[in-house]
Amino acid sequence: MNKHVSPKMNRRAFVVGSAAVGAGLAIGLDLPFGGPTVVRAADGSPEIGAWVVVRPDDTVVIRIARSEMGQGSLTGLAQLVAEELECDWSKVTTEYPTPGQSVARKRVWGDFSTGGSRGIRSSQDYVRKGGATARVMLIEAAANEWKVPASECTVARGVITHKASGRTTTYGKVAEAAAKLTPPADVKLKDPKDWTIIGKGLLRLDTADKTTGTMTYGIDVKLPGMLNAAIKDCPVFGGKLKSYDEAKVTSMKGVKKVVKVGDTAVAVVADTWWHAKTALEALPIVWDEGDNAKVSSGSIAKWLTEGLDNDQPAYVGNKNGDAKAAIASAAKKVEAVYSYPYQNHATMEPMNATALYTADKCEVWCGTQNGEAAFAAVLEASGLPAEKCDVHKVMPGGGFGRRGQTDYVRQAVMVAKQMPGTPVKLLWSREEDMAHGRYHPITQCKMTGAFDANNNLVALHYRLSGQSILFSLRPEALQNGMDPAAFQGVAQSGEAAFGYSVPNLLVEHAMRNPHVPPGFWRGVNVNHNAIYMECFMDELAQAAGQDPLEFRRKLMVNHPKHLAVLNAVAEKIGWDTPAPKGVYRGIAQVMGYGSYVAGAAEISVTDGSKIKVHRIVASTDPGYVVNPAQVERQIAGSFVYGLSALFYGGCTVKDGKIEQTNFDTYNSMRINEMPKVESVMVPSGGFWGGVGEPTIGVAAPAVLNAYFAATGKRIRSVPLRDQNITFA
């Protein structure tokens, strides 16, 4: 792509502005479509608007601002643009614009943030308009050449036809003229019933490069003259670097320099990463661990348990009636306390970034979930203005929310600043990556349900105690101190709304924030809230002597979309028919990220502690399905993540430090443990929901409810490894 002149910009103003973009706030997109000056891609081909480049050979390059992390956004977004563009899908390729280029063009590509299952749903409207606008301009260019009304021309698969005269041309032949036209002020998008590319299970555009090994990940980046760096940060969050003795390692093989990184870390720069790591391991370091070194899992759990006390302050996230009064006068009460641990993202590729710093420019190559946030980190760490910085996105080897953070980018720049003119690749070791994550928040939940004399549920009190991600990462998004994200799946309304009607309801959050930092984690708050609520729903059904499905259905009459996905999985799993001998079923539902989802599991149990998950059925209503094949893969992938978390995922704290620092103590499920997954898509239209995260929430409660059906035992804390329960 061309290098564009960047506007002068205050670094602090950009950082604040990019935070707003990352928060999903509305931004005005000044789309520089066409005009008399042709904007060209790096190969000289003309842009037909910011989203589309057409080459003379009819190849269509579609710009993708969001990050591809394996979830399929790159292909899905290309489908959205191609649908309106009416191009030949077999000739579509993609590229990432850089955040520096976007800033220089008044953020023409919109939000770069990729998280919260928003990659497609938050940009679908404007990227489709980008495709439609380019189509109109290309047709107009052909019509001008033929001197006929554009209304008489049609297009299919990139071939423009004037039926009356029989003339045809291609996008590649008219692209140059189209790029000079003034774009239409408004374009009409297709009716969904006319879609021919959206809704089709097209092959992914990135599969070939991944399977042939030609895909470049952050860890693969190589630049001329590049050095490598390994880093150690204080093992206790909040601690600092006190001292180190670099004289002990400077003569070791390959070592170029030992550098201090901020107040908390030290890095060794060497010719190879192994030399850097070896020297770092030999480097005598003294840490000032501070008071947080006194914290343990036990002290954190005790603090959270205190938050379950009704006398402690709490934020109310959902309320109707008077739950406390109704519970006090009820004929029967049911109470349970559940808990959920810290969990690591454990991406296959550890955090890394390659930085090249000079006094006049700073560039970074990295995998990131938010190019603009990474860009902001580069500005802050380098001290250079926006026009002298940029970030080049490469494929990340896993994200799951972790690469929405920019600590590793900032560190890379801080190291590179001390080696000016030399590119430096900073790669965290696996142990560093595991010990310095941004973890799934730790929580506990106390639930109380109350029945009248006829076993009707009359009240429900849901009291959550635990961490707030927004408090740690985006305090400006708190609402009078309350974290609305903490109520995902049990909220009063919105994209993660509660799916039951209870006469008296109180859902509240006692915020407790230990020193271990929380972060957005695939599914995040939906995961524990779904376990708490859906397992407790089964407990309530049992107390009422009712079938778990029928008990839910009675409470979901006013929630038809929630009910529709629940009924879909019940039918698919055969809930009303006997399960095979020795097989037991569990069911769950939740709403998250704008989508309605439900799951049903079939399991068998041996010796009370060995679980074989035979089958999981998932149903989802995301409004629209862009690529059904990819949705199926995302559902299956979400169950890998959700079941791994259920059986294995849990981080403990000792002396202020995370104890699990490699895969020997933080496991993941294997292929032979994976159940058969069946997907039922029931898109009802009219809205755009997420796909990559919502179904994670129903995996664990469906299995836990099936485990109770099999054994009569309730499991109220995870991971199951701590209960000595394993895969069979």
C-alpha–C-alpha distance, residues 338 and 466, integer Å:
12
- When pLDDT is cut at 50, 70 and 90, the band that residue 166 belongs to is very high
Nearest to 188 by CA among 118, 136, 152: 136
Cα separations (Å) of 617 from 269, 477, 680, 708? 50, 36, 8, 18
Q: What is the pLDDT of residues 369-383, one digit of tens each?
A: 999 999 999 999 999
Closest CA to 92 of 110, 74, 109: 74
Structure tokens at 230: 């390994």
Give me the pLDDT at residue 724, please: 97
**Residues 567-589: b if buried by 16+ CB within 10 A, e if exposed:** bbbbebbebeeebeeebbbbbbb
- In the predicted model, is pLDDT for residue 34 greater than 50? no
Distance CA 569, CA 371 (A): 38
Whether 220-290+351-427 and 308-343+439-727 share one fold: the answer is: yes
pLDDT at 2 over 70: no
List of residues 6+ apart from 670 with CB closer than 8 A: none
Please give the model's pTM, rounded to 2 decimal places: 0.94
Rounded Cα gap, residues 582 and 360, in angstroms: 69
Percent of residues, the chain, with pLDDT higher than 90: 95
**Buried (b) or exposed (e) across 463-472, using 16+ Cβ within 10 A?**
bbbbbbbbbb
Mean pLDDT value of segment 488-516: 98
Find, among 38, 35, 88, the residue nearest to 61 by Cα: 88
**Does 32 have pLDDT greater than 70?**
no
Q: Check residue 520 and report its DSSP letter.
A: -
Mean pLDDT, rounded, of the chain = 95
Among the CATH numbers 3.40.50.300, 3.30.365.10, 3.40.30.10, 3.40.50.1100, which is that of 11-200?
3.30.365.10
Domain 220-290+351-427 has CATH 3.30.365.10: yes
Q: What is the pLDDT of residue 9?
A: 38
For residue range 580-589, list pLDDT tens digits in order. Answer: 999 999 999 9
Residue ranges per domain, the chain? 11-200, 220-290+351-427, 308-343+439-727
Question: What span, in angstroms and rounded, lies between the C-alpha atoms of 290 and 435?
Answer: 17
Place of tokens 């109109």: 136
Q: Are 225 and 279 in contact (CB under 8 A)?
A: no
Percent of the chain with pLDDT over 70: 95
| Separation of alpha carbons 137 and 153, rounded Å | 12
Residue among 424, 408, 416, 412 at smallest CA distance from 359: 416
Contact 120, 80 (CB under 8 A): yes
Cβ atoms within 10 Å of 257's Cβ, excluding its own: 18
Fold of 308-343+439-727: Aldehyde Oxidoreductase; domain 4 (3.30.365)
pLDDT tens, residue by residue, 174-221: 999 999 999 999 999 999 999 999 999 999 999 999 999 999 999 999
Q: Hey, CA dihedral for 413, 417, 423, 429, is it positive or negative?
A: negative
Q: ∠226-231-235 over CA atoms, to 5°?
A: 170
Residue 274, pLDDT above cutoff 50: yes
